Amino acid sequence: MIAGGVAMNADEARADMASGLAMANTCAGCHGTDGMANGPAMPNIAGQPANYLIPVMKEFRSGERYSTIMGRIAKGYSDAEIEALSKAVAGWKWTGGAENPKLAMKTGETIAMVKPALAAEGEKLAKEMKCTKCHEDGGKSTEDDMPRVAGQHLDYLLFKMEDYKDEALKMPQPKKMKKRMDKASAKELEAISHFWAANK
Amino acid sequence: MIVVGGGYGGATAAKYIKKADPNVSVILIEQNKHYYSCPLSNPVLVGMRDLEVQKWGYEGLKKHGITVVHETVTGVDTGAKKVTTAGGVFSYDKLVLSPGVSFNYDAIEGYDEAATKTMTHAWKAGPQTAILRDQIDAMKDGGTMVLVAPPNPFRCPPGPYERASLIAHYFKTKKPKSKLIVLDPKDKFSKFGLFQSGWEKLGYKGKYLEWVPAGEGGKVTRVDPKTNTVYTEMDEFKADVVNVIPPQKAGKVAFLAGVANDKGWCPIDFKTFESTMAKDVYVIGDSSAAAGLPKSGYAANSEAKVAAAAIIASLQGKPAPMPTYVNTCYSILAPNYGISVALVSTLKDGKITKLSGGLSPMEATPAFRHQEALYAESWYQAIMNDTFA
Ligand SMILES: Cc1cc2nc3c(=O)[nH]c(=O)nc-3n(C[C@H](O)[C@H](O)[C@H](O)COP(=O)(O)OP(=O)(O)OC[C@H]3O[C@@H](n4cnc5c(N)ncnc54)[C@H](O)[C@@H]3O)c2cc1C
């Protein structure tokens, strides 16, 4: 980003001077301190690979990837800034996430809770439906551009499964994943979500 | 380092200074043992949510090595660099003030601090929230409630209208012969179109909720707490429950420190949040005059991080880094019905300048509104932990 002797434009200056970390820290209001969110729905982003974060942020920005709010936020960052803040996020550690006692109280919205029986069924289904070909290691893999799904918040996984199934949203996804998604029923995807959410 | 006020701004500043440099000694002075969050206190008013979910303590901050002192600050001497409390005097190198807002009790005749015992403001969460909740709960079906909205600028621009929505929802589902009248000294407000269309779609408008703008005589001039009556220039409203959100200014500490201007807010350098009226004093959160950012919990959190980075840089003799701000305010109009406004901004030509953001779409599927309602809850859980844990 800092080309020797060449004057930086304003965006580059922000990417450099604010440092990726300062920008990434502003995401914490939604994604939690150091990228570990507290549930029930906003995703943990800590330690997701930069190869996943960078294109996803750019797809949010262009509108190619459906979102409720990330599109509006991602438009505030240049390519250089997305790269800088994604590297900071990728450097954070996925810590397994502490239980959040406040979520056990009456909060006004209906929050999904992991059901162990459903999770056990989901573990089988993920194998049968070959999700595990890519989401290896019980969903913990972060190889190359693979986002970790194990230990992700249940309501988030349930939302994403709906979004991927919704033809109108045209969610970007690998061809082989789409094929399997098309075949999967809502019930099966729900079970897989319970499995991954439980697999901390 | 001394931080005064352990709310959204102050607690975040204390934590992020420690996170950046554990060797800096940080004392947080906060008058209360527990903090009750205003964000998501509106659902509490209509029984959707427990007040307990709003309550946070300071153990998390102590774990970061922050010294928490529960005292009320009664004086600040920015020349001698001293902060006075009943429990003692503290010296500082750098001072962060995040005292929230105080109320302007001269603005509405008859509305003073004593009046708030029955005509609540519930604009600082805690006991006030509980009183108003109980009043709404005890109100008979067929009753009338009046909500007096504040003039700009005030804490949480969409807040009064989220409150109005949820009360309308409560009447619609629990007390269908009742009505809420919102008296407003303004003709427009935050997320205006989204609220108006939500009130239409959810069947509140006219039936359970009537909004009276300034142009139609919405400005309240006087209240009478004895008879629960609210007077506008042309009309009077006798109600079963009255909620007055008064005009606001910076927290009292800002005036004690002499860092508030004649408009009642604290001018700051937008790059660092250092006061332009006193050196080594940083004013963040609702009290600051941060043109371009709303008075919200998220903005306070974002400003705290900017100030923390600037303070650390200054202690190391380095120039302050380029600031970056994010804000989002979610509002709940009914269970499973959320809307939002987002903002990403930076410093350009000495001003806080919008880079991106905006409102949820006017036309959205029920699934979209449902996701935003649940994301609102998530936002709350995440930011409270970012602030207090
Ligand atoms: C109903 C409602 C809903 C809201 N919803 C949202 C929302 O959804 N999202 C959002 O982002 N914002 C929301 N807000 C706004 C948010 O609450 C404020 O913007 C935020 O609290 C500002 O933080 P602060 O640090 O400036 O002040 P505060 O959080 O009020 O903290 C100030 C602290 O200073 C302490 N203090 C004051 N004076 C002294 C003294 N003399 N000595 C010691 N301690 C002192 C107080 O006890 C308090 O703990 C809402 C507000 C309301 C009223």
Question: How many CB contacts within 8 angstroms connect chain A with chain B?
Answer: 150
Task: Report the DSSP beta bridge partners of residue B97.
Answer: B4, B283
B292 contacts B316 by C-beta, under 8 angstroms: no
Q: Is A68 on the interface with B (CB under 8 A)?
A: yes
pLDDT digits (tens, 9 = 90+) for B281-327: 999 999 999 999 999 999 999 999 999 999 999 999 999 988 989 99
Predicted pLDDT at A4: 35
Q: How confident is the model at residue A10 (pLDDT cuts 50, 70, 90)?
A: low
Ordered by start, the domain boundaries in chain A are 2-31+48-90, 101-198
B273 Cβ neighbours under 8 A, 6+ residues apart? B282, B283, B284, B288, B290, B303, B306, B307, B310
Tokens 């709960």 -> residue = B137
pLDDT digits (tens, 9 = 90+) for A34-67: 999 999 999 999 999 999 999 999 999 999 999 9
Q: Reading across the β-sheet that carries B351-359, which strands appear in turn? A: B324-334, B337-348, B351-359
CB atoms B322 and A41 under 8 Å: no
Closest ligand 1 atom to the C-alpha of B39?
5
CA of A181 relative to ligand 1 center, distance in Å:
45
Out of A32, A69, A73, the one facing B386 most closely (by C-beta) is A32
Taking the CA of residue A72 and the nearest CA in chain B, the distance in Å comes to 5
A89 contacts A45 by C-beta, under 8 angstroms: yes
- Hey, what CATH class is A101-198 in? mainly alpha
**Reported pTM:** 0.95
ipTM: 0.93
Identify which of B3, B8, B343, B384 to mutate to test ligand 1's pocket (most ligand atoms within 8 A of the CB): B8
Ligand 1 contact, B38 CB (< 6 A): yes
Supply the residue whose CA is at minimum distance from atom 35 of ligand 1: B5
Give the separation between CA B253 and CA B88, rounded to whole angstroms: 16
Q: Is A72 on the interface with B (CB under 8 A)?
A: yes
Per-residue pLDDT, averaged over A116-134, amounts to 97
Predicted pLDDT at A6: 43
Q: Which of A62, A28, A73 is nearest to B343 (CA)?
A: A73
Predicted pLDDT at A167: 92
Could you tell me the maximum CA-CA distance found in chain B, to the nearest angstrom? 65
Predicted pLDDT at B342: 96
Between helix A186-198 and helix A116-128 the angle, nearest 10°, is 110
Out of A18, A31, A159, the one facing B371 most closely (by C-beta) is A159
Please tell me whether A177 is known to bind a ligand. Answer: yes
Task: Work out the percent of chain A whose per-residue pLDDT is above 90.
Answer: 78
Instruction: Name chain A contacts of B385, Cβ cutoff 8 Å.
Output: 32-33, 38, 100
Residues of chain B with pLDDT under 70: none
Ligand 1 contact, B190 CB (< 6 A): no
Give the separation between CA B387 and CA B254, rounded to whole angstroms: 22
pLDDT digits (tens, 9 = 90+) for B159-214: 999 999 999 999 999 999 999 999 999 999 999 999 999 999 999 999 999 999 99
Instruction: With a cut of 50, say whether residue A1 has pLDDT above it.
Output: no
- The domains located in chain B, with CATH, are 2-102+248-321 (3.50.50.60), 106-244 (3.50.50.60)
Ligand 1 contact, B72 CB (< 6 A): yes
Strand bridging mode B2-4 / B27-29: parallel
Q: What is the CA radius of gyration of chain A?
A: 18
- Report in angstroms the alpha-carbon separations of A139 from A28, A60, A70: 24, 23, 24
Instruction: With a cut of 90, say whether residue A81 has pLDDT above it.
Output: yes
User: What is the fold of A2-31+48-90?
Assistant: Cytochrome Bc1 Complex; Chain D, domain 2 (1.10.760)
Give the separation between CA B163 and CA B148, rounded to whole angstroms: 11
Q: How confident is the model at residue A108 (pLDDT cuts 50, 70, 90)?
A: confident
Give the separation between CA A30 and CA A26, rounded to whole angstroms: 9
CB atoms A75 and B356 under 8 Å: yes
Ligand 1 contact, B298 CB (< 6 A): yes
Give the separation between CA A127 and CA A110, rounded to whole angstroms: 30
Q: Which of B380, B360, B312 is nearest to B197 (CA)?
A: B360
CB atoms A30 and B377 under 8 Å: no
Predicted pLDDT at A11: 56
Predicted pLDDT at A99: 80
Which letter does DSSP use for residue A147 in this model?
A: P
CB atoms A108 and B309 under 8 Å: no
Q: Is it true that A2-31+48-90 and A101-198 share their CATH fold?
A: yes
Instruction: Name chain A contacts of B301, Cβ cutoff 8 Å.
Output: 28-29
CA of B272 relative to ligand 1 center, distance in Å:
20
Taking the CA of residue B34 and the nearest CA in chain A, the distance in Å comes to 15
Between helix A154-165 and helix A186-198 the angle, nearest 10°, is 150
Instruction: Name chain B contacts of A72, Cβ cutoff 8 Å.
Output: 342, 356-358
